[in-house]
Amino acid sequence: MARIKTGSIRHLIWVLLLCFGAIPANARNAQEIARKAFTSTVLLVMEDANGQPLSLGSGFFVRDGEVASNLHVIEGAARGYAKMVGQKAKYDIEGITAVDPERDLVVLKISGARTGALALGNSESVQVGETVYAVGNPQGLEGTFSQGIVSSIREVGTDKILQITAPISPGSSGGPVLNSKGEVIGVSVATFRGGQNLNFAIPSNYLKTLLGKAGGIRTLAQVMSAKTHRSILADFGSRSLEGVVCGSWTWDPNLWFSFSVQNQLRESVKNVDCLVIFYDSQGSPIDFQKLRVYGFIPPGLAKRVKGGVDHAVRQLTKDVAIRVLGFEIAN
């Protein structure tokens, strides 16, 4: 019996897939797409007027010194900075060059950062079943890359939104959703009604249109005070954070701490995300951590969360604040 080399079989399968259209002719492998995406994706850390950490999100370079993200990532912030994946340098957000409140899109001017931009694909050509990759910083974990498919293309009023199976968590909002060519075909969104693990992305063609309208730099305060339009996210139901509260903080031995997360709703919740901010004696933030409470918390009950800090943070900390960033309703 004649033997056929394994490499030849793989090559034959690849050629057949190309011939029948199962794989785009210029498709790239996932590792290559991830490497390129990480060099152009940033972690966004937003702060209030007192310099206190307010929220975390993601963004990606669309032009030299300009980063696209979701508008809701910067809401309520007085300032913020961008951090490249795998790097320590922080780059201040100078302001906003373009904004589309109705589609939850914003383009930020970043000071001093120089890196390549991601190519924008044609979201009108996206098909259900197509492989996609979501890139972001879920829970503040830098450089996370996940694969999924386009499960639906939904209409919201006169607009469209992409429903995908690639997971999107708080912290990944504003990150790029890429096709098999490594092109951006959507911008991740992480706010949904009831937390049903429904993952959505704003089509890239809306971002292309917005970039064509970019102008001078405006401050975050100028843009947010002028926000009067209804967002596309309103039709999916913005999730209220009321009903889940944190408290009962205690310092444990050996630099550990713990606090309770109580569910005051009538439904069980899961995957509660909390932001812990540590302050010195002057009231200035010296460190922050983002923690997730895994598992279910039934109505009226609570769970304790445990974390740790280094010796310097423990010595300097005089006060602590805890904020609930998000949670899911467990069905």
* Catalytic residue selected from 55, 146, 173, 204: 173
* Catalytic residue selected from 40, 58, 104, 273: 104
Q: Which residues face 68 on adjacent strands?
A: 60, 107
Structure tokens at 259: 């606090």
**Three-state DSSP state, 36:** helix
Structure tokens at 128: 């259900």
Query: Of the candidates 183, 196, 201, which has an alpha carbon nearest to the alpha carbon of residue 119?
Result: 183
- Cβ neighbours of residue 234 closer than 8 Å, sequence gap 6 or more: none
Q: Catalytic residue at 173?
A: yes
Distance (Å, rounded) from C-alpha 42 to C-alpha 177?
A: 14
- Cβ neighbours of residue 73 closer than 8 Å, sequence gap 6 or more: 44, 46, 55, 57, 58, 59, 106, 173, 174
Please state, as a whole number, how many other Cβ atoms lie within 10 Å of the Cβ of residue 4.
9
The single-letter DSSP state of residue 193 is: G
Query: Of the candidates 164, 187, 161, which has an alpha carbon nearest to the alpha carbon of residue 176?
Result: 187
Q: Catalytic residue at 64?
A: no
Distance (Å, rounded) from C-alpha 197 to C-alpha 329?
A: 10
Distance (Å, rounded) from C-alpha 69 to C-alpha 93?
A: 12
Q: Catalytic residue at 111?
A: no
Query: Of the candidates 168, 154, 160, 151, which has an alpha carbon nearest to the alpha carbon of residue 205?
Result: 160
Q: How far, rounded to the nearest angstrom, does the alpha carbon of residue 74 sit from its chain's CA centroid?
A: 12
Distance (Å, rounded) from C-alpha 215 to C-alpha 117?
A: 18
Q: How far is CA 264 from CA 45, 242, 245, 250, 269, in A?
A: 29, 9, 8, 21, 10
* Catalytic residue selected from 55, 72, 172, 231: 72
- Which of the residues are catalytic? 72, 104, 173
